[in-house]
Structure 1
C-alpha cells in the first residue's frame, strides 16, 4: 500500500492529525496487510460529495496554489450532507477514491467564519484519499485536477473531537467545516513522460506484465569509473534540488550478476530527502537535476555505493538501480 507522510507549511502542522482523521494509538499499529485491507475498504466506501452549486460561499481570485483566495460566507453555515461546488473547473484527470492528491487548501469554521488553517503560499498538502478524513475525501472524489472547490463538510464526515486541536471558541464536533481547495495534481504510482532510448551497453531493465520494473539484464558487468545516470523516461515535473523531499519507487541489483537485492515495488514507495548526505553518494549525486515523473537508470561504482566490504549487510561492489521519481517538493 502507498503510504504518505504529510509535509505542510508551518501553519498547517496543527492540522495534520485532523486531515488524516482518527489514527491508531501507539502500540496498536496494524500490520501491513491490515493497513492495506483497511485502506482498500476505506477507498471503496468513499462516495463523492453531493453537488450543490448553491453553496453560499464566495471565492475570489485566480486559481493558484501559492496565493490564498478571498473567501466570504455568512456564518453560521451548516450542512447535514457533505456538499461540494466547483468554483472554477479544471481540465485534468478525474480523481478516484484510490488516488493520492496534491492540493492547496484553507479551512474555515462554518459556525463562526474563522479561518482555521491554510497551506496557500506554503507546501501543498499530499494525501491518499483512503487515509484522509472522510469529508475531505468525499470532496475530492469525482473532481478534476485543476478544479477550485468549495466543500462543506458535514459533522458526521468531519474531524470529530479532534477539531478541538484548533482551540477555537464555537468550534466542536458538531461544526460544519468549510474547505476551499485548489487541486494541483494526482501523484502517480510510476514514471510518466517521454521515453528515452538508452545506450545498448547499459543494463537493460526487465518488466512484469503490468510494466513494473522487476530487475535487469546485465550485458557488461564492468564497473564504471563514475556514476552513470541515464533517463529512461523523461518526466515533466520540477527538477530535484538538494534538500527536497522525494518519493520514489526503485529496484536495486548488484552489477556483477544482476541479482536484485531490494525493490520498493514489493512494499511501498521510498520517501526521503535528497542531496543532504542521507543516501549513498551515487543517489545523492545522480538524482539531483532529474525531474519528477522520470524513470532513471543509475550504474554506481563501489566507491559511491556501499563499498567493497560493507559491514551492515548492504550489497558489495558496483550496483545498478532503476528509480521512478514520483514526487519532489
Structure 2
C-alpha cells in the first residue's frame, strides 16, 4: 500500500500502468510522479538508448490529432539536453473552469521519446486516470503542479524526464486535463450507520484461526465516499496521518469479492506501514482509529489504485478489514 512517490514522475500520477505493472499492497499506491518515472525507466518500447543533445523543452512541438481523440503528435528537432531534474512547461492553458486544489483531475497521459518525439505509450490517453491536484501528487515533475494549479480544464502540460533522472533514455510525458470533480469524502458516523441499516455494506466473519472473510452485499453499488466501519473499538493510541501502524489486513475488490492481498497468508501475519506512504483510503480511513481496533474500509477507486486497469483485481472500489495492532 505504499506510495511510489518520488521518483521522477514521482509525482504522481502518471500512470501508465501498462508499462510498469502495479502492486496490490496497500503500501504501493500510484501517484503521478512515481508512475511517470517508472514508465520512463521501464517502458519496453523506449529501451533504445539515445545520447542527449542540446534540444530545449520549449522547442518541442505538440500537435492535436483527431480533435484530441488520439494522443497528440510530438515533434523534437534535436534530442533534448540532459539535466539533474524533471522540467515542465505549459502547452495549453485550457478554456474550461479553473482547476482547484484538491479536486480530482481526469488526466489523459501519453509518453514520447525525448530523442525524436516518437510515441512510446498512449494507453493512458484512451483510459484517463483520476489524480487529486495536490503538490505531493505532482512532486518530482518540475513545475507541473504550479502550471496545473494555474490552469483550467483542457490544460496540457509537457514534462521532460532527462536520462539522469529516469536512469534510462529521456522521456516526455504529456498530461491533458479532461475534467475535474470533487473527490470522495470520509462518510460521517451517521452515514455509515444508515448504509449498514440498509444492508449496503460488506460483512466480515472470522474463522477459528482468526482469518477473516469479506462478503460483498448483492445487488448494491459501492458507496461513493470512503466508509470506515468500526467492528471493534480499541483502547490504545489513536493514529494520526504521521503515524506508523502495524496491522493485519485482508483486501478484496467490490466487483467480485476477489481477494488480492492478505497479510494473514504470510508469516508474520502483520505488516508495518507509515500512513504517509499508503493509499489515500488507508491514510484517511485509519487516521483517528485507535490501536487495538478492527475496522472495515470501503474505498472508492480514486482513493485506492486509480491507475488499475479494468480486469485487474485492484480495479474499482476495494474493501479491507484491518486489525490495527500497533500505532507509533
Please indicate the TM-score interval, normalised by the length of the shorter structure: 0.3 to 0.5
- State the TM-score, normalizing by the size of structure 1: 0.42
Determine which structure has more spread, i.e. the larger CA radius of gyration: 1
